[in-house]
Amino acid sequence: MTTATITAELSVAKDFSETPGPRCRKDGEFSGEGFLERHLEPAYLKARDEDGVLLIDLDGTAGYATSFLEEAFGGLARRYPRENVGERLEFKSDDEAYLVDDIRTYVREANDK
Amino acid sequence: MKWSSRIAWFLAGVAVCLLVLLLIRFQLNWEFKITDFLQVVVTVIIAILIQKFATETYSDKRVAKNLLIARTDETISYLQDAHKIFLDCIKDGLVSKENNTAILSLTKNINNSIKRLEHGLKKCRMKAPSFDAVKGNRLDYNRALTGGGFPSQPYTVVIFTEENEIYNTLSADLESMRYEINNW
């Protein structure tokens, strides 16, 4: 785990949607692709430039589809080195404890696809 | 029951016995050695301790087992509901908005109830060999239900086969867990 401090925060429910949707934009509203491009990637870059960590609050939504999470977080790991993505992201998930482990799996497996 | 009241009851019992013996004019041989007396005291103390230990251990273990079995049943129930909705989606050839919401909610419930089971097993220091398989298949089941093109694209035959396979494995592992917990 990195010793850097949290320099950016992102809440999926407050900043994006309480009902995260499908994988791609063409498939519907509030997609993983849309979240990646409009929120996750800019916030990740900000944290990286400040040598900090991005804290993502996953609570408060109706639930996440694997397709959404894989496209958003796996997608970020396909654009940037996955080790760096893994280090720059921290998560808060009180609603669903396994979610953090699952997202880390998507990041880890992103380049294998 | 408190120790003081247990001892009081015991002494009261001894007193009643002596009274009865006196009333029926039973001739007691009052000659006894101190070792006999100590032997009786030690025997009584050991008997009380064994009874206390056995009662508490057995009842605590049963309560823990019942809680874990209830958690396992809860997981099985969520899993069955998710499978039922999945089959409805296959039959309809699409994932409706209502079914989308229900599937997301049920996968969340399945994950959380498995997490609670993990926590419970750890707290009770219980080893259920089937739990590792349940935990291992959890993410695969999530992927089968909500991965790929979910929810905009209908489930394919490949996903249908995959979901069925993982569902059956997970159900069997959860059933095995119930027996493992009960026989613990």
Specify the higher pLDDT residue, B58 or A9. Answer: A9
| pLDDT at residue A97, rounded to an integer | 84
Specify the number of domains making up chain B.
Answer: 1
Q: How confident is the model at residue B9 (pLDDT cuts 50, 70, 90)?
A: confident
Q: What is the mean pLDDT of residues B143-150?
A: 94
CB-based contact, B116 to chain A, within 8 Å = no
Backbone φ and ψ of A92, nearest 5°: -120, 120
pTM: 0.80
Whether B11 is covered by a domain: the verdict is: no
- For B21-36, what is each residue's pLDDT tens digit? 778 776 666 676 788 8
Whether B48 is covered by a domain: the verdict is: no
Question: Which of the residues B104, B106, B155 would you substitute to probe the A interface, choosing the one with the greatest number of A C-beta atoms within 10 Å?
Answer: B104
Whether B147 is covered by a domain: the verdict is: yes
Chain A positions touching B104 (Cβ under 8 A) are 62-65
Residue type, B55: T
CATH number at residue B77: 1.20.120
Whether B80 is covered by a domain: the verdict is: yes
- For B57-109, what is each residue's pLDDT tens digit? 778 888 999 999 999 999 999 999 999 999 999 999 999 999 999 999 999 99
Nearest neighbour of A63 by CB, restricted to B107, B139, B153? B107
| pLDDT at residue A4, rounded to an integer | 82
Question: Which of the residues B146, B155, B156 would you substitute to probe the A interface, choosing the one with the greatest number of A C-beta atoms within 10 Å?
Answer: B146
Q: Does residue B8 surpass a pLDDT of 90?
A: no
CA distance B18 to B77: 61
Counting residues of chain A whose pLDDT is more than 90, the rounded percentage is 91
Whether B115 is covered by a domain: the verdict is: yes
Chain A positions touching B139 (Cβ under 8 A) are 98, 102, 105
Whether B148 is covered by a domain: the verdict is: yes
Whether B35 is covered by a domain: the verdict is: no
Specify the higher pLDDT residue, B4 or B181. Answer: B181
Its domain, for residue B108, covers: 67-182
| Chain B: closest CA distance from residue A64 (Å) | 6
* Contact (Cβ atoms closer than 8 angstroms) between residue A4 and residue A53: yes
